[in-house]
Amino acid sequence: MPSYLNALGVVCALGAGKQAVADALFAGDSSGMRAEDGWVSGRQLTVGAVHAELPAMPAGFEAMHSRNNQLLLAAALQIEPELRAAIERYGSTRVGLVLGTSTSGIREAGEHIARYVRDGELPREYSYAQQEMAAPATFLADWLGLAGPVYCQSTACTSGARALLSAHRLLQQGTCDAVICGGVDSLCRLTLNGFSSLEAVAAEPCNPFSANRNGINIGEAAALFLMSREHAPIAFLGGGASSDAHHISAPHPDGLGALGAMQKALSNAGLAPEQIDYLNLHGTATRHNDSMESAAVHSLFPAGVACSSSKPMTGHTLGAAGALEAAFCWLTLSEHNPDALLPPHLWDEHPDPLLQPLQLTRPGERLQRQQGRHLMSNSFAFGGNNIALILGDAP
């Protein structure tokens, strides 16, 4: 049975709020991707920072301050009436919260520890709890007064997608009547230096599936859904997960884990490959990811499927990416996209002859079906952790 996505709050390099993000997304606006100094010593990197003004922490929650929690609060405030109405309707014990993150509050913790190294003491505002993986869920649950299941998942770049899949299962099992779910991650020096040390970060804008691709750009975002069994125009139809554990950081070269996740998602949703109208690719612009993903997609969709990577417009938002790209699918199906446009694939249009060809979307391309539409979103992570989600028009 499907679950329904009743509300969405979103903030990323494209903007803040559903309409602002939709307008920029379908226009192919990459102006939020900007070259910045200061993240990695001696390098200028293109990053997808959020430039919208972020809210201050609510009174009484100052000790939980972090940029990660501010991003999360910015998304939550957009749908606060819907969230509080669900809590009133079902009761605080019947509303769950599942979030994905990978940075949590490590940005602030890193800055505080740097001050300790320099000055010999930690600043008064330092709190170890800021950097705990559960910190975003703890903050949001306390702010909303939740008493149902509350937790964070951290499976690297699939975290946000896994949160949606877990929320769906909580509803299907009858554990919850509604679940607040999504992902959040903030830019921080630790992440950017880590990926830079792996030689995976491009200084220039990323170029997925191009012969000239040279690595990822990192971004930050929060995407937050209210999911329930209450009927809404857009449904969460299912998802699939796999863990091939091929290598600690490199994906299986043939994309077997990615293919398995997509096949499981189709089976879970009761759909055939030809019923998928659009696929949001993981599309990181790294050599290995694009190679294996093109192989997996071509194997499952030999006749082709409209697809694109949205990361040239947002950067790779890591723990938030799966939820953010599910949000892009939600926006594609929503009233915020009256012309039924598809997210365009931004690249230099120099295909890699070593990759299986993909049906990459161009600016202005539209969904062909007017009803009964099904959209898939891929998320892949270190350790062979793979997730595919399927959203669609409510049956």
Catalytic residues: 157, 282, 316
The CA distance from 12 to 331, in Å, is 14
> What is the three-class DSSP state of 384?
helix
Distance CA 259, CA 252 (A): 10
Q: Give the integer Cα–Cα distance in Å for 390 and 395.
A: 13
Question: In this structure, what DSSP letter does residue 66 have?
Answer: -
Alpha-carbon torsion 202, 204, 207, 211, what sign? Answer: negative
Looking at the chain, how many residues does it have? Answer: 395
Report the distance separating Cα 259 and Cα 267, nearest Å: 12
Rounded to the nearest angstrom, the gap between the alpha carbon of residue 199 and the centroid of all alpha carbons in its chain is 22
Q: Which residues lie below 8 Å from residue 274, measured CB to CB, with a gap of 6+?
A: 303
52, with CB counted inside 10 A (0-12, 13-18, 19+), is middle
Note whether 276 and 342 are within 8 A (CB). Answer: no
